[in-house]
Amino acid sequence: MLRQLWWKLLGAGILVIVLIIGLGTPLKSGILESFPLSAAVGETVTLDVRGYNTHFATATSQSAYLKNSEQRVVSASLIEVKSEQDAAFTFNLPTGDLASRESLTLIVNNEKDGSIILPSALLLKEGSPSNQSSTARWEPLMVNELHRSEGYRFPYRNILHETIRNTFFHVAIWFAMFILFITGLVNSILYLVRRNLVYDKIASAFTEVGIVYGMVGLATGSMWAKFTWGAWWTDDIKLNMSAIAILIYLAYLILRRSIHDIDSKARLSAAYNVFSFLILIPLIFIIPRMTDSLHPGNGGNPALGGEDLDNTLRLVFYPSIIGLTLLGVWLSSLSYRLSILKDRWILNHK
C-alpha cells in the first residue's frame, strides 16, 4: 500500500485545500478599538468605534448597547456612521447605584455583521453630583433583537485577529509530529523484539521527519508568538520544553551517525529512541500542566475549546492534521527508500 500513489495525492490535495480555505476564508466582523476608555456615571459619552471586516455603512438596522456585569444594557441614543469601519455611538449613561469602576461591554448589532462585542470597552467611574440628572435606565437585553452572522467565516478573536489561521499549521503540525514519533517508537520496539533491520530503517525515517516537523512547529509558533505575545521567544514553559525535546531527538540523529557497525547502530538507536520518547512524555504533557503558560490550555485558558476552536475552524483543522500526517508518511517513505538505496550502493561498491 505504501507504494501506491493515491494516499500521497490525497495528502497533497488536502493540504492544498487547507491552504486555500484556511487562508482565503474571511474572519467574522469584530471591533478593533473604541475611544474614550472611561466615562463617569450619568455622563453622555460618544464612543468612536473602529471595526474590523464590518459593514457599518451598508447595514440598514444598526443598534449598539453597553452591557454591565448584571447583563443589563443601555442602548445608544445616537448613531453616526462614518464609513464601513468607523462609527460613533452616543450613550446617555444612567446614574443609579452601580458599583463604581465597573467595565462595560460594547455590543454592536446589525444584520450584516451580526452582533459583535468588545469586552471591557468602557470603564465606568463615579461621577460628580452635577451629572446625577440622567434619565437613562439599565434595561434587560432583548436577545431576540440580536442578529447572527451568516456564512462560513472564522471567528474573530481579540489579540489573535488574522493569526487564528495559524491553528491549521502550528497546532496541526505538533499533532502530526506526535503521530510520526509514535510510529517511529513502535518500529523501534519492533526492532528490539524481532531484530529485523527493516524496522530500524523505518523507525529512523519516521523520527527524522518528526524532527523536521518539530522544528517547523517551533518556527510557526515563534512567528505566532511575535504577533500575539510580542516576542519571537518568550520564557514560556511549553516553548522551552519543546526546544529541549527537539534537542533530545537531535542527539538521536548524532548517535546514529556516529556508529558505523549496522547492528549495534540499530540496537543502540532503537534503545535510545524508546528512552527519549519516554522522557518526552513528561516534558511535553506533564511539566507544562504544572505551571502557568501563555498557551491555551494552561493557567485557565481553554485549550481547543470554546471560541478558540469552533466548528468552522474544526472543518479545516482536522483535515490539516490528516494532510500533514500523510505528507509526513510520504517524506518518511522517501527517506526510507533513500537509505535502502544507500545500502545497496555500498554493497555494490565494496
Of 32, 117, 141, 248, which one interacts with another protein (CB under 8 A)? 248
284 touches another protein (CB under 8 A):
no
Site for another protein, residues 204 to 243, rule: CB under 8 A? 241
Radius of gyration (Cα) for the chain, nearest Å? 28
Nearest to 28 by CA among 58, 5, 51: 51
- State which amino acid sits at residue 211: I
Look up residue 301 and give its three cell numbers. 485558558
Strand partners, 329: none
Contact window for another protein (CB under 8 A) among 73-81, 123-131, 153-161, 257-265: 257-265
Which string of x and - marks every residue 42-71 that binds another protein (by CB under 8 A)?
Answer: ------------------------------
Alpha-carbon dihedral sign for residues 161, 166, 170, 176: positive
**Cβ–Cβ < 8 Å for 15, 324:** yes
Query: What one-character DSSP code corresponds to residue 49?
Result: E
Which residue in 251, 334, 341, 346 binds another protein (CB under 8 A)? 251
CA–CA distance, 347 with 110 (Å, rounded to integer): 74
Task: Report angle CA 31, 145, 93 to the nearest 5 degrees.
Answer: 60
Strands (E), the chain: 30-35, 38-40, 44-52, 63-67, 72-75, 78-81, 86-92, 102-110, 114-125, 139-140
Q: Which residue has the cell 474572519?
A: 27
CB of 268 to another protein, least distance (A): 5
One of 9, 219, 290, 303 touching another protein (CB under 8 A): 290
Applying CB under 8 A, which of residues 54, 276, 293, 320 lies at the interface with another protein? 276
Toward another protein, which CB reaches closer, 122 or 270? 270
Examine residue 271 and tell whether it contacts another protein (CB under 8 A): yes
Phi and psi, residue 90, nearest 5° = -105, 130
Is 247 among the residues that bind another protein (CB under 8 A)?
yes
Q: Does 197 bind another protein (CB under 8 A)?
A: no
Give ∠ CA 75-77-80 in degrees, rounded to 5.
Answer: 110
Least distance (Å) from another protein to the CB of residue 273? 11
Is residue 190 close enough to count as binding another protein by CB under 8 A? no
Cα gap 162→141, rounded to integer Å: 30
Which residue lies nearer to another protein by CB, 147 or 267?
Answer: 267
100 versus 264: smaller Cβ distance to another protein: 264
- Which span sits near another protein by CB under 8 A: 7-15, 91-99, 226-234, 256-264? 256-264
CB nearer another protein, residue 101 or residue 289 = 289
Contact between 7 and another protein per CB under 8 A: no
* Rounded CA separation 184/203 (Å): 4
Which of the ranges 58-66, 99-107, 160-168, 267-275 carries the binding residues for another protein, by CB under 8 A? Answer: 267-275
Q: For residues 74 and 95, is the Cβ–Cβ distance under 8 A?
A: no
The amino acid present at 247, given as its one-letter code, is L
For residue 306, what is its C-alpha cell?
A: 470554546
> In this chain, which of 278, 334, 338, 341 binds another protein, going by CB under 8 A?
278
Residue numbers at the binding site for another protein (CB under 8 A): 192, 241, 244, 247-248, 250-251, 254-255, 258-259, 264, 267-268, 270-272, 274-276, 278-279, 282-283, 286-287, 290
